[in-house]
Amino acid sequence: MSGFFGSVSQDDCVADVFYGTDYHSHLGTKRAGLAFYSKTKGFQRAIHSLEDGYFRNKFESDIAGFKGNIGIGVISDTEAQPILVTSHLGRFSVATVSKIANISELEERFMKMHRTFAETSQGSVNPTELVAMLIAEGKDFVSGIENVYNLVKGSCSILILTENGIIAARDRLGRTPIVIGKKENAYAVSFETCAFPNLNYEIEKFLGPGEVISLSANGYEQLRKPNEKMQVCSFLWVYYGYPPSFYEGINVDECRYKCGAALAKNDTNEADFVAGIPDSGVGHAIGYSNEKGIPLKRPYSKYTPTWPRSFMPQNQSMRDLVAKMKLIPNKAIIKDKRGVFLDDSIVRGTQLQDNVRDLHEAGIQEVHMRIACPPLTYPCEFLNFSRSRSNLDLATHKAVEQLEGKVNMNMSEYSDSNNPKYHEMVEQIRKNLDLTSLKFQKLDDLVEAIGLPKDKLCTHCWDGSSYF
- Supply the pLDDT for residue 303: 77
Rounded CA gap, 52 and 47, in Å?
A: 14
* Average confidence (pLDDT) over 289-302: 94
Least confident range from 24-28, 55-59, 241-245, 311-315: namely 311-315
* Average confidence (pLDDT) over 44-64: 92
- Supply the pLDDT for residue 307: 54
From 363, 350, 301, select the one nearest 327 (Cα to Cα): 301
Do residues 395 and 430 make contact, with C-beta atoms less than 8 angstroms apart?
A: no
220 SS3 class? strand
Q: Which domains does the chain have, with CATH numbers?
A: 2-230 (3.60.20.10), 254-450 (3.40.50.2020)
Residue 468's pLDDT band, with cuts at 50, 70 and 90, is confident
Residue 429's pLDDT band, with cuts at 50, 70 and 90, is very high
High-pLDDT (> 70) share of the chain, % = 94
* Average confidence (pLDDT) over 309-321: 54
pLDDT at 180 over 80: yes
- Supply the pLDDT for residue 393: 85
* 358-386 confidence digits (pLDDT tens): 999 999 999 999 999 999 999 888 886 65
DSSP states of 67-134: --SEEEEEEESSS---EEEEETTEEEEEEEEEEETTHHHHHHHHHHTT-----EETTEE-HHHHHHHH
Residue 314's pLDDT band, with cuts at 50, 70 and 90, is low
Residue 323's pLDDT band, with cuts at 50, 70 and 90, is low
Residue 319 has a CB neighbour count (10 Å cut-off) of 18
**pLDDT higher for 315 or 206?**
206
* 111-167 confidence digits (pLDDT tens): 999 999 988 887 789 999 999 999 999 999 999 999 999 999 999 999 999 999 999
Phi, psi dihedrals of residue 246, rounded to the nearest 5°: -120, 140
Question: Mean pLDDT in the chain?
Answer: 93
Residue 389's pLDDT band, with cuts at 50, 70 and 90, is low
pLDDT at 462 over 80: yes
Residue 351's pLDDT band, with cuts at 50, 70 and 90, is confident
**pLDDT higher for 226 or 279?**
226
DSSP annotation of 54: -
Provide CB contacts within 8 A for 25, sequence distance 6+: 54, 55, 56, 75
Rounded CA gap, 351 and 158, in Å?
A: 33
- Supply the pLDDT for residue 123: 78
Q: What does the buried/exposed string (b/e) look like for 428-440 if buried means 16 or more CB atoms within 10 Å of the residue's CB?
A: bbbebbebbbbbb
Do residues 186 and 124 make contact, with C-beta atoms less than 8 angstroms apart?
A: no
338: enclosing H helix or E strand? strand 338-343
Rounded CA gap, 260 and 437, in Å?
A: 16
pLDDT at 324 over 80: no
- Supply the pLDDT for residue 311: 42
Cα distances from 374 to residues 67, 168, 240, 439, 457, in angstroms, run: 47, 33, 16, 9, 14
